[in-house]
Structures are given as C-alpha cells and as structure tokens.
C-alpha cells in the first residue's frame, strides 16, 4: 500500500504556500516532514485531512496497483495542541469513543488495557481530562487514533513541549504503530527527525524533497539542509 500525493498546490491570496507537492509514501514507515515554522507543514496536513480546500492536485491510496480514494476513516490527525473533551474522564472518553466506533475497531481491548499501553498513570483514569497535563492529553489524542486504526496518521509536531520521558514514550509508541500504516511526522527539529523517522523529506519552497539520512553525517550537507530550511521559513 502507498499513499500518493500528486501535484497538490495551495495559495492564500497571492501567497503560494504549497506549489507542487508530489510524493509517494510506503506503508510500514515513519516519514519525517522537515520544515521551519511557517513552511506550510500544517497547511499540507489540513489539506490532506479535508479541513481546508486546495487549489489543484489530488491524493489517493495505491493498493495492488489500483488507485482508490481516501475516505475520512483512513486518516488520523494528531495535533500539536491536543484537543480533548475536558468534561469527561479518560476512562469515560475511551468508553464513549469505543462505543461509537465499535464497528471499525479491529484489535479490541478494554479501556484499561489501552490506558496502560499508553503509559497513562492509573490515578488519572477517572480524573477530568481538563486537568490532564499537556503530555497526557497528547497521549489520549494519539490513543484514539491507534484504536480507530487509520491507514494514514498525520503527526503535527506532536512532541512539542513534552518532557524528555514522555517524548521518548511517544516515540516508542509511534514506532510500534508502523505496520500496515503510513505515518507522516512533521517537525522543525532535525535531531528528532533523525532519531525517529525512517525517511526524511524537506518541505522547501512549497515542494517536497527527499533527504538522504546517510548524507546528514556530512557537516557540509547538513548545513545545506539547514540553509534550505531557513529559506523555506522566509517564503
């Protein structure tokens, strides 16, 4: 299975944010979408998630040589600022989510098993989520995407503002979710992309460019990537 973006473009007025995004993503891999703040990473994700319209292009899955449209259930979206219903406890939220999506959950577990899997402390399970830490809210947001089992997961700077322990836990969880899926992980931090991702792509001047991880051991090449990121931030 591949997720394919074909010549996608998006402008705001006269400002071109995405000029010609054209790339194929293979299942079973984490792709690091590298770009400075303002380069268009969130815009790209919002186009793919259907939150905003784009000017031209398309995206689709390629399975067994045939194209098929992307449906809403195919995509999971983890925001950098997690949004959870603060009036529910963690356990209540999971029960509610699992009830309304019972027909699409393939690997059914109890809410308690899911919470343990995410390393969410038992003393928080019955607390209102409005009182959860940023990291725990982020874990809850990721958890519902794991339960729903989408083919494509968009991760928009999900490790921002997390402490070191929680960030490492989240990385391990991302790695465990690669099978049968495509994960696209956006970040402006090169070191995180190198540590977590199987492949790195650079959003530069509204286009995607592959970056060979092996070349990033070369300081001159690394400086070129950083300069490209600076240029992208200025556009």
Token digits of residue 230: 């600076």
Domain boundaries, the chain: 2-234
Q: What H or E segment, with its residue span, contains residue 208?
A: strand 207-211
Adjacent-strand bridge partners of 187: 34
Chain CA centroid to CA 94, Å: 21
Closest by Cα among 73, 69, 144, 134 to 114: 144
Q: Which CATH class is domain 2-234?
A: alpha beta
Calpha distance 200→203 (Å, rounded) = 10
Cα angle for residues 8, 71, 27 (degrees, 5° grid): 75
pLDDT of residue 165: 86
CA dihedral 113, 115, 118, 119 (to 10 degrees): -100
Distance CA 58, CA 71 (A): 13
User: What pTM, to 2 d.p., does this model score?
Assistant: 0.88
Measured CA to CA, the distance from residue 230 to residue 118 in angstroms comes to 35
The 8-class DSSP code of residue 113 comes to H
7-66 per-position pLDDT tens digit? 999 998 888 899 999 999 999 999 999 887 778 899 999 999 999 999 999 999 999 889
- Packed helices 134-148 and 90-100: angle between N→C axes, nearest 10 degrees: 20
The predicted-structure confidence for 186-195, as pLDDT tens digits, reads as follows 987 788 888 8
Residues of the chain with pLDDT under 70: 215-218, 221-222, 224-235
C-alpha to C-alpha distance for 70 and 165, rounded to whole angstroms: 35
Q: Is 231 left (phi over 0), alpha (psi -120 to 50) or beta?
A: alpha
């Amino acid at each position: 299975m591949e997720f394919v973006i074909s010549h996608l473009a998006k402008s705001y007025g006269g400002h071109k944010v995405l000029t010609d995004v054209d790339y194929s993503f293979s299942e079973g891999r984490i792709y690091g979408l590298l770009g400075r703040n303002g380069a268009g990473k969130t815009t790209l994700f919002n186009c793919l998630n259907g939150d905003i319209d784009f000017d031209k292009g398309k995206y689709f899955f390629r399975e067994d040589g045939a194209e098929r449209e992307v449906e809403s259930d195919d995509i999971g979206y983890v925001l950098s600022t997690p949004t959870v219903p603060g009036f529910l406890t963690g356990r209540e939220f999971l029960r509610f989510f699992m009830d309304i999506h019972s027909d699409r959950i393939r690997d059914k577990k109890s809410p308690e098993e899911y919470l343990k899997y995410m390393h969410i402390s038992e003393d928080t399970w019955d607390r209102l989520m409005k009182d959860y830490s940023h990291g725990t809210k982020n874990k809850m947001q990721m958890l519902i995407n794991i339960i729903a089992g989408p083919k494509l997961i968009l991760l928009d700077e999900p490790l921002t503002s997390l402490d070191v322990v929680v960030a490492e836990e989240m990385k391990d969880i991302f790695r465990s979710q690669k099978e049968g899926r495509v994960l696209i992980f956006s970040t402006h931090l090169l070191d995180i992309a190198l540590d977590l991702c199987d492949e790195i792509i650079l959003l530069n001047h509204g286009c995607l460019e592959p970056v060979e991880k092996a070349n990033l051991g070369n300081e001159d090449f690394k400086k070129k990537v950083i300069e490209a990121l600076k240029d992208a931030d200025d556009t």
